């Protein structure tokens, strides 16, 4: 591994334009991913994980915009690239897998054709050759009978199979970075594990770096060397996975870990150990800008969570 | 595919029988008959003896269920009966008129599709733009304006004021005579198509698989051609089918207005003199057209959307 990071986020802010500046939803997020490294991003729904990911490939939906900060990919600021240059990177160098395999594929096209598009777009192949490559790609994600399956339509496949197709599409051009946004959340538990292993194996074999986004700490713990914890648009903690699980620093991380069921411990009724939940709810976003960010959740009070970042 | 088509065609038979019976019931309730309309010159009171003789001659003295039965058994041999007025087989009378109607309907529909669908597309790709606003205002006006009124306006402007086009008539098949009635008839489906297309494009644009397509690094125009177009067409084809199917019925007023020698004007003339066999025949043709178009649309559906089973 070299010393220069593959991806570097510097003080990234994502927000909605207002009359006087921006209403930021992702605030001051900085982290970096080394080539071939797996980095995990955890946090609850609405904490800004997905927005951070989408801003990386410049697919934020209007009116959301990157309001401040830099996104450096191999040292180049992605924001300064032209649309054409960005398209060259998307799918080719930075690929993405989405949460919902049921809707992420076009229902009217065969999966083979949807994989083959990658080779036509980025490798300049004709459809016939790209179609043959699609069979190989499908075989590489361990779909049985790939020669027949390329002719199948998404609705003829299970959720797990479709997510494999998505992985085949994402890895078709051997990207440097794979962004996996909750890739297993919509799947059955048994399938989740297979899909995660598949992503792990394939990326390790190809030296692809992974940005794994999940609200499931278990998923992250299995796959990632380092973890960032996001809460309410901020990166509140960023550590080695092992250290984080051994000794979480931030009260929110402690809360998250406390909420995990553990094998061998009984949870639930009558005198047994209860799962810990974090009190309170995220307040509305305007309020979050001014106040103590985590304070409304009243079990934990920590002055470090001030909105202005003052310790 | 062939079985699917055959089944759909066979399913039309009960509908046709039901419609034929319904028309019989209606005309047995409506006052007046062909015989009485022949004698109604407004000067003399009708002679009951003559009336009875005429009724007998046309078979109108028989009870309605016997006439209905005779009609249906004739229908089974493609015999639609004989016109009271011209004493010609109804099939020949219709044959003289149907081609003019088909020509008008097809011209109107082509006009609506060629302008409406692209307009909806362009409007949707620039929502909120001037073109979008103009299109949608135009669409609402087109939908709310009575067709005969629009026809009169067009006639006045293009025939009377500018003198570019003939105001009415068939002109022995001269295409110049087709333009005004076709535009008049096509405006409603055009407006509807523009709206449906626009709504369809906006709906599909928000689908996950469009985001997937962008994440593959496709240009906007490729996303539209490869992934958006066909999915929008599934929605648009429904509207085209419904509009095209009901067009023969809608053309009745327009044909009368422009003295277009089609099924519609034949229907109106025949109703006023109670020429029941011709009325029956024309209504059956209009219904048959609707059913045929709908069957055809279902077949197209099955061809563009693999999720629709062809059973």
What's the CA gap between B296 and B311, in Å, rounded?
Answer: 15
The strands making up A65-73's β-sheet, listed across from edge to edge, are: A21-33, A7-18, A65-73, A76-77
Residue B184 at interface with chain A, using a CB cutoff of 8 Å: no
A52 or A307: which leads in pLDDT: A52
pLDDT in tens, A254-264: 777 777 776 66
* Cβ neighbours of A166 in B, within 8 Å: 212
* Cβ neighbours of B214 in A, within 8 Å: 59, 90
Least confident of A173-177, A283-287, B44-48: A283-287
Nearest-CA distance A287 → chain B (Å):
30
Q: With CB atoms and an 8 Å threshold, state whether B208 touches A91.
A: no
List B residues 205-234 in contact with A (Cβ-Cβ < 8 A).
Answer: 207-209, 211-219, 222, 226-227, 230-231, 234
What's the CA gap between B22 and B20, in Å, rounded?
Answer: 5
pTM comes to 0.78
- Determine which of B126, B204, B210, B215 to mutate to test the interface with A (most A C-beta atoms within 10 Å): B215
Closest CA to A141 of A120, A115, A107: A115
Nearest-CA distance B293 → chain A (Å):
23
- Name the residue of chain A whose CA is nearest to B307's CA: A155
What's the CA gap between A72 and A6, in Å, rounded?
Answer: 8
Binned at pLDDT 50, 70 and 90, residue B145 comes out as confident
Nearest-CA distance A57 → chain B (Å):
7
Q: With CB atoms and an 8 Å threshold, state whether B209 touches A57.
A: no
What's the CA gap between A53 and B242, in Å, rounded?
Answer: 44
What's the CA gap between B159 and B11, in Å, rounded?
Answer: 45
Report the alpha-carbon angle B69-B75-B80, nearest 5: 105
* Cβ neighbours of A100 in B, within 8 Å: 208
Binned at pLDDT 50, 70 and 90, residue A179 comes out as very high
Give the pLDDT confidence score for residue B76 in this predicted structure: 80
Query: What ipTM score was computed for the predicted complex, to two decimals?
Result: 0.83
């Amino acid at each position: 591994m070299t010393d220069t990071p593959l991806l570097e986020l510097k003080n990234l802010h994502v927000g909605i334009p207002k009359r006087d500046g921006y209403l930021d939803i992702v605030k001051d997020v900085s982290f970096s991913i080394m080539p071939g490294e797996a980095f995990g991003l955890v946090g609850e729904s609405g904490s800004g994980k997905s927005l951070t990911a989408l801003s990386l490939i410049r697919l934020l939906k209007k009116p959301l915009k990157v309001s401040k900060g830099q996104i450096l990919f191999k040292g180049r600021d992605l924001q300064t690239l032209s649309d054409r240059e960005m398209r060259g990177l998307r799918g080719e160098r930075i690929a993405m897998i989405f949460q919902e395999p049921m809707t992420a594929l076009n229902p009217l096209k065969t999966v083979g054709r949807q994989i083959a598009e990658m080779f036509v777009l980025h490798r300049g192949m004709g459809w016939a050759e790209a179609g043959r490559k699609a069979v190989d790609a499908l075989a590489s994600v361990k779909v049985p009978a790939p020669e027949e399956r390329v002719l199948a339509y998404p609705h003829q496949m299970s959720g797990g199979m479709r997510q494999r197709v998505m992985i085949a599409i994402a890895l078709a051009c051997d990207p440097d970075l794979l962004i996996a946004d909750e890739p297993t959340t919509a799947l059955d538990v048994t399938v989740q594990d297979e899909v995660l292993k598949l992503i792990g194996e394939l990326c390790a074999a190809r030296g692809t770096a992974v940005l794994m986004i999940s609200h499931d700490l278990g998923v992250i713990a299995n796959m990632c060397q380092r973890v960032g914890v996001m809460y309410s648009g901020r990166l509140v903690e960023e550590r080695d996975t092992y250290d984080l699980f051994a000794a979480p620093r931030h009260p929110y991380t402690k809360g998250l870990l406390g909420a995990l069921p553990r094998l061998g411990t009984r949870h639930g009724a009558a005198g047994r150990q209860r799962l810990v939940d974090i009190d309170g709810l995220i307040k509305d976003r305007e309020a979050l800008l001014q106040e103590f960010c985590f304070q409304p959740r009243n079990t934990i009070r920590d002055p470090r969570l001030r909105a202005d970042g003052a310790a | 595919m062939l079985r699917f088509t055959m089944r759909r065609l066979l399913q039309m038979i009960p509908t046709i029988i039901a419609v034929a019976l319904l028309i019989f019931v209606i005309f047995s309730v409506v006052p007046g008959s062909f015989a009485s309309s022949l004698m109604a010159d407004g000067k003399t009171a009708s002679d009951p003896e003559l009336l009875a003789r005429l009724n007998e001659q046309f078979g109108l003295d028989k009870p309605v269920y016997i006439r209905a039965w005779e009609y249906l058994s004739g229908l089974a041999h493609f015999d639609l009966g004989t016109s009271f007025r011209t004493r010609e087989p109804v099939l020949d009378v219709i044959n003289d008129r149907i081609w003019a109607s088909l020509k008008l309907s097809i011209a109107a529909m082509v006009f609506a599709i060629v302008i409406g669908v692209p307009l909806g597309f362009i409007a949707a790709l620039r929502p909120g733009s001037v073109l979008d606003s103009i299109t949608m205002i135009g669409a609402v006006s087109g939908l709310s304006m009575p067709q005969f009124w629009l026809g009169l306006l067009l006639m006045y402007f293009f025939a009377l004021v500018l003198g570019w086009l003939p105001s009415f008539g068939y002109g022995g098949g001269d295409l110049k005579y087709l333009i005004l009635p076709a535009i008049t008839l096509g405006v409603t489906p055009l407006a509807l198509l523009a709206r449906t297309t626009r709504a369809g494009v906006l709906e599909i644009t928000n689908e996950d698989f469009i985001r997937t397509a962008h994440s593959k690094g496709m240009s906007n125009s490729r996303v539209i051609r490869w992934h958006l177009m066909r999915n929008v067409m599934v929605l648009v084809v429904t509207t085209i089918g419904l509009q095209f199917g009901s067009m023969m019925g809608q053309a009745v007023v327009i044909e009368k207005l422009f003295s277009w020698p089609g099924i519609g004007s034949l229907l109106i003339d025949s109703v006023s003199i109670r020429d029941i066999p011709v009325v029956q025949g024309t209504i059956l043709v209009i219904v048959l057209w609707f059913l045929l178009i709908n069957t055809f649309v279902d077949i197209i559906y099955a061809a563009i959307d693999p999720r629709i089973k062809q059973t």
